[in-house]
Chain A
Amino acid sequence: MAPPSHRRPGFSRRAQYVLFSGYVVAVLGAITASLLVVAAQFDPRGFRAVQGVASDVASPFMSVGRVIARTFGATDDAIAHYLAAISTNDALKAELARARSRLIEARIIEAQNRELRALLQLQDQRPDVVAHGRLIGSTLSDSRRIATLSAGAQAGVRSGYPVRAANGLIGRVLNTGTYSSRVLLLSDASSVVPVRILRDGSPGFVTGNGDGTLDVRGLNAGARLFRRGDILVTSGTGGLYPPGIPVAIIIRSRGDEGTAAPIANPGAVDYVTVLGLFHPDKPADPVPPRSAIATGAAPVTPPQAAATP
């Protein structure tokens, strides 16, 4: 038999009213909360403004914490580096010797490339650098992979803009606060990036697995496309991500699918760069008006119809 509730308020009429209204508020609140959850299923990008404000509030805490973490992390690294100094030195010398000969080859190719481009009169479509910032934190207890960036709408960051580190692609801006923004990392399950294999240029898609690795699918079904060690770069197809940014390196291959590891590790990079949206059919003349690319939505440009001759 169920015992009496311990919340029984006794004979006080006031206490009874307070208890009853508490239950009314709780039930109404629970109904509202379930409506919010359902709304998020249909419109995952809703509540952008609220989340922007939340990331603005969080960013000072994260920045201070990051300074502290770096101070301690740096001393750790210094000790480890000191212990491994001699072997690292030998390895670096060997690598430098290899790199020198490759550098000379690369210079020759670069010069050749410049001549050929001049011959073809190609216009360089360099994406505009919008802002620089640091990745100061991430969703540590949620299964989505979203990092907090220390630059927001005030620095010109808009949602949808691609974010890269010096060595590779990081992801794209999901939503912005005034001083900070949230970046959807490559490893998130909802992130999709069109890529091509650097070796032979065959196209594919990279999606996140949510555990730090990426899933790669080739567009040529059935063909054995990927080899271990292949480097994937953005293809620029469909706009958004500018072409030629290193994305991932293949670590496992099975048929026309593969598993890849991101080249830029968002946990280790120092500074990241926010780029403007890439438009495949962008005119070669000056920068388009900011308002045209600042709408925040994913670009609706047709897939590279103009780029193929």
Chain B
Amino acid sequence: MSRGIYSEHERFALIWGARIAPTISTMIASMFAWAPFVTDMPIMPPFGLMVFLCWRFLHPTMWPIWVGLPLGLFDDLVSGHVIGAGMLSWTLMLMLFDWLEGRIVWRDWMFGWSIGVTTVTVYLIGAWMLTPIHPSIITLLPQILLAILLYPLVMHVCAALDNRRFRI
């Protein structure tokens, strides 16, 4: 078997940086929903989805088109959404953004923020609608507001991680 031009360590760093680090970071962000608090309203922004989207916007070809299925399922199980909601919506998002990719000519920071925030808001409202017996939509507002405010922070964390992911 050909060993190629890379050493063992370099090959591991490549796989780690290209595949494992983004996946693990998304899963860890989903696991923020395991914070040990009992609250009256949903307050935790969907960090898993936010990290997933940030990786998508940083590197449009990084995620394979099917990766929303396992990552979305994990997020559904962790967050308590209806099982299948995340699988379906994350996959549809990837397809939608692939379709939109070349149609958007200019991109800047505000654009990344606004499209990310719009996607997260639509996702939260969709997940709320899929819940069989759901409370008034006002109960979603704190969560959506927090997601909008924290999205730039998630973008910064992802970008910092992106700079370091191949250096292990």
Contact = CB atoms under 8 A, between A and B. Distances in A.
Contacts of A144: 80, 131, 134
A139 B82 contact: no
B64 to A, nearest CB: 5
Nearest to B84: A36
Nearest to B133: A190
Interface string A125-157: 000000000011111111111110000000000
Contact of A210 (B41, B43, B91, B103): B41
Nearest to B87: A33
A141 B45 contact: yes
B35 A33 contact: no
Nearest to A69: B36
B21 interface: no
A140 B91 contact: no
Contacts of B133: 44, 189-190
Contacts of A189: 133-135
B58 interface: no
Contact of A44 (B32, B88, B132): B132
Contact of B88 (A34, A139, A209): A34
Contacts of B66: 22-23, 25-26, 29
Contacts of A39: 84
Contact of A36 (B40, B83, B91, B103): B83
Given A40-B82, A143-B134, A66 B36 contact: yes
B72 interface: yes
B29 to A, nearest CB: 11
Counting chain A residues whose Cβ lies within 8 A of the other chain, the interface size class is 35 or more
Contact of B34 (A41, A61, A142, A143): A61
Interface stretch (B6-14, B137-145, B153-161): B137-145
A210 B43 CA distance: 12
Contacts of A3: 102-103
B135 A210 contact: yes
Nearest to A147: B38
A66 B41 CA distance: 19
Contact of B132 (A2, A5, A61, A190): A190
A252 to B, nearest CB: 16
B134 to A, nearest CB: 6
B30 to A, nearest CB: 9
B61 interface: yes
Contacts of B40: 145, 187, 211-212, 267
Nearest to A41: B132
A189 B42 CA distance: 13
B43 A140 contact: yes
Nearest to A61: B34
A4 B102 contact: yes
B22 interface: no
Contacts of A34: 84, 88
Interface of B: 31-46, 60-61, 64-66, 68-69, 72, 77-85, 87-88, 91-92, 94-95, 98, 101-103, 127-128, 130-136, 138-140, 143
Closest A-B pairs by Cβ, 6 of them: A210-B135, A212-B40, A36-B84, A3-B102, A140-B44, A33-B87
14 contacts: A6-B101, A25-B66, A33-B84, A41-B130, A54-B78, A137-B37, A140-B44, A142-B42, A142-B79, A143-B139, A143-B140, A189-B133, A208-B135, A267-B39
Interface of A: 2-7, 22-23, 25-26, 29-30, 32-37, 39-41, 44, 47, 50-51, 54, 58, 61-63, 65-66, 68-69, 135-147, 185, 187-190, 208-212, 266-267
